[in-house]
Structure 1
Amino acid sequence: MLSSTLLTNHDHWDGPGPWWPLIPLFWFAFIVVAFVLLGRFGRRRWHRGSYSGEARLAERFAAGEIDETEYRTRLAVLRENGK
């Protein structure tokens, strides 16, 4: 009888404990790290894409589709506009 009374009256819940602020801090850190990583890799992809115009232009020049004057003119425009 005594053991059943102890089990029903005490549910062993003493609150969340002193570690509860760690869970929101963990999620905050996770979100910050995710944004930093996505931003860093996104910028790398964007920079890689910015050189693709120059690469395509060089391929057209190498294939003989455009002459040297047109190549230099278009390359200057690409570099001027940052594309």
Structure 2
Amino acid sequence: MMRDQDEQLDGVFTTVGNLRRQADDMGRELEEQVEMLGAVDTLADRVGSRLQTGLQKLGYVVRQNEDRYSGCCVALLITVLTVLLVLLLIL
């Protein structure tokens, strides 16, 4: 009877030891994944910041070109209308 209890306790002890080793392995794995996720997060922040800066610069260029081309188009249309009016008056 005592011997059976000792064997059962030895089995429980072995099982608990195995569980502890597995928990330690999982803990190390989680620590490694946390480090990798931190690196990915830092890289994603850096890329996001660069993308935001690029979008701002692109928006600025688009606004500048819209204003410039709008002014050119208006000036061209005024010139064409003036020429048409002069031709209409002459003919």
Q: Same fold (TM over 0.5)?
A: yes
Unpaired stretches in structure 2, ≥5 consecutive residues? 73-91
Superposed CA offset, 1:26-70 (max 9, x none): 1111111121022113212211212311210110111128xxxxx
Looking at CA atoms only, which structure, 1 or 2, has the larger radius of gyration? Answer: 2
1:64 aligns with 2:71: yes
Q: Write out aligned runs for 1:50-61 (5 A).
A: 50-61=57-68
Name the counterpart of 2:50.
43
CA distance in 2, matches of 1:16, 1:50: 54
Q: Whose helix proportion is higher, 1 or 2?
A: 2
Unpaired stretches in structure 1, ≥5 consecutive residues? 66-83
RMSD between aligned alpha carbons? Answer: 2.9
TM-score under structure 1 length normalisation = 0.55
Name the counterpart of 2:16.
13
Task: Count the aligned residue pairs.
Answer: 63
